[in-house]
Amino acid sequence: MQNITYIQPTSRKFFTAKSLYLLLAIIGAIDPWIFLCQFFSQNGFAVSLFFQSAFANYISSEVAADLLISALVFCCFSLLELKRIGVSQRWLFLYVVITFGIGLSCSLPLFLYFREQALETPKLDK
């Protein structure tokens, strides 16, 4: 006998959590790059100046440290959640690259979008 472990009721809602996550991932991909492009257009590709500016004072240091810790927590959470829902852990590499390449504002909602998609797919117990 086969049991379906998760089925989300199908609905015709115009705006679902999944579509919200996708919209936030798109915004989270565009918004940080606007500021990064402005910084690099004014300063050239000065990575050392970028990190110097990120830790220029106590407030910016706090924000940068908080963001780095949040990114680390997200990486741990996504690894555990991918195991829990039975999705290949190879996806973790993508989320880590997006987190540190674009930003947590893109990778977190993108992860939640694909998580919702995986949860909507019926899985059969053996």
| Interatomic CA distance for residues 19 and 13, integer angstroms | 10
State yes or no: pLDDT of 62 exceeds 60: yes
Report pLDDT digits (tens) over 63-103.
999 999 999 999 999 999 999 999 999 999 999 999 999 99
Mean pLDDT of the region 100-126: 88
Contact residues for 74 (Cβ-Cβ < 8 A; gap 6+): 95, 99, 104, 107, 108, 111
Report d(CA 1, CA 70) in Å as an integer. 42
Note the pLDDT of residue 126: 45
Strand (E) or helix (H) holding 1 = none
Reported confidence tier of residue 12, pLDDT bands at 50, 70, 90: low
Token look-up 């927590």 returns: 73
Find residue 124's DSSP bridge partners.
4
Predicted confidence at residue 8, as pLDDT, reads 54
| Mean pLDDT, rounded, of the chain | 89
